[in-house]
Amino acid sequence: MTETARVHQPLTAGRRITILGATGSVGASTLDLIAHLRKGQPDAYEIEALTGFQNTIVLARCARAAGAKLAVIGEPEKYRELKDALAGTGIEAAAGPDALLEAAARPADWVMAAIVGTAGLRPAMAALRPGTTLALANKECLVSAGDVFMRAVAEAGVQLLPVDSEHNAIFQVFEEPNRSAVDRLILTASGGPFRLWDRERMAKATPEQAVAHPNWSMGAKISVDSATLMNKGLELIEAHYLFDMPAERLEVLIHPQSVIHSLVAYVDGSVLAQLGTPDMRTPIAFALGYPERIAAPAERLDLVRIGQLTFEAPDFQRFPCLGLAVAALKQGRGTPTILNAANEVAVGAFLERRIGFGAIAGLVEATLMAAERAGLTGKPGSLVDVLERDRWARETAGTMLTEGRTP
């Protein structure tokens, strides 16, 4: 009785928040959640810094609405534009890669890492400061720099909370004291927009068709990754580093309704899962409230209305990117760094209509083979090593593209 009657002081009071990649899809969900929470508790959060890449209008709008102290745009030449857009607000403006790092390193209690791609790696590393909680959406950080990143997290004593919905689900049902009794982690995947398409039809898919995800509304890159199933491959690698699980204990399960966000199977036969509607505000709220639970405005799950949950095995023939990622995970060392960089180039080229959907896997595979030949798949020992390999893989994939040597 006394326990329940206890006045409850939310852990969230007056917390300083920074959002890296505030102008993107996860950034928008984070800002929306915070705006919602502020209705009940206006001074619960202070927004230290928001960052964007090119869109000063959206960044300035977000910074004004959230009352941010600092807004940083990645493109240095956009400084004037941002400064003008923030005139009279008292919000500090800055631009360029170093300003992004400074924003990330500014003292904050909670930092959302939601930049897309390896571009977010250095900012996420800069945010690793004692006392900070890092909410990690940017999976490419872990794929590209897994060991280096996790070592830096441990050294800084940072609380790392996964925001990617599958990893957030696993985190919620992973019994750390029973780690040795974990049999498998099962990552669910919707199957993407081409789940039922044959290879010939898929090869001609347009960017518009690829980004039309059946269940989730997301940025362009992750949407294409979801269509190739590379996203699930990247997530297997992400899970390997986050939960320290070997490749043999990681599985993919196609679940078109995206209700079960992932599962943990234990040796006693129990399988624990986390369920919810496909709304990123739920995993973000989990990371923001942790270790408590806070209310999020996501639609409530209505299982009667959904009626049926179905499951399928992934098809490695039609989705070769998944196989490439699994092989990179098993090979380990520097291979995921190359896979990730080549995939970013391939997806970018597909979105620019320079290659077809069917050529994405081929370009990634060709880059991996070139890296093997060049002896560049050894384990990167430092961030510098990772960035060097990332640069090499981008350059190599880029050259194959311009020379028309894509398979």
Among 17, 45, 52, 321, which residue sits at the site for ligand NAD (rule: CB under 6 A)? 52
At its nearest, how many Å lie between ligand NAD and the CB of residue 280?
5
Tokens of 298: 């996501």
Determine, following the binding rule CB under 6 A, whether residue 406 of this chain makes contact with ligand NAD.
no
Residue 68 to residue 330: CA distance in whole angstroms: 43
Q: Does 195 bind ligand NAD (CB under 6 A)?
A: no
Q: Which does 256 bind (CB under 5 to 8 A by kind): ligand NAD, Mg ion, none?
A: none
Question: Quick one: which of 12, 17, 18, 21 contacts ligand NAD (CB under 6 A)?
Answer: 21
Residue for token digits 């995947």? 189
CB 253 within 8 A of CB 166: no
Pairing of strands 250-254, 182-189: parallel
* CA gap 169, 190 in Å, rounded: 15
Confirm or reject binding of residue 218 to ligand NAD (CB under 6 A).
yes
Instruction: Compute the distance between CA of residue 227 and CA of residue 239 in angstroms, rounded to an integer.
Output: 20
Site residues for Mg ion, window 161-190 (CB under 5 A)?
164-166
Burial of 325 (C-beta count, 10 Å sphere; 0-12/13-18/19+): buried
Minimum CB distance to Mg ion, residue 169 (Å): 9
Q: Which two tokens stand for residue 376?
A: 């560049």
Q: Which is nearer to Mg ion, 69 or 281 (CB)?
A: 281
Q: Taking CB under 5 A as the rule, does residue 238 contact Mg ion?
A: no
CB 73 within 8 Å of CB 100: no
Question: Is residue 241 part of the contact set for ligand NAD (CB under 6 A)?
Answer: no
Of 31, 104, 108, 114, the one binding ligand NAD (CB under 6 A) is 114
d(CA 237, CA 247): 8
48 binds Mg ion (CB under 5 A): no
Question: In angstroms, rounded to a whole number, what is the distance separating the alpha carbons of residues 17 and 276?
Answer: 25
Nearest distance, CB of residue 187 and Mg ion, angstroms: 8
Minimum distance from residue 54 beta carbon to ligand NAD (Å): 6
- Under rule CB under 6 A, residue 314 binds ligand NAD: no
Residue 367 neighbours by CB under 8 Å, 6+ apart? 338, 341, 342, 345, 393, 396, 397, 400
Which CB atom, from 116 or from 245, has the smaller least distance to ligand NAD?
116
Of the pair 140, 166, the CB lying nearest Mg ion is at 166
Asked if 216 interacts with ligand NAD (CB under 6 A), we say yes
Which residues of this chain interact with ligand NAD, rule CB under 6 A?
21-27, 52-53, 74, 100, 114-116, 119, 137-140, 164-165, 216, 218-219, 221-222, 280
Which residues of this chain interact with Mg ion, rule CB under 5 A?
164-166
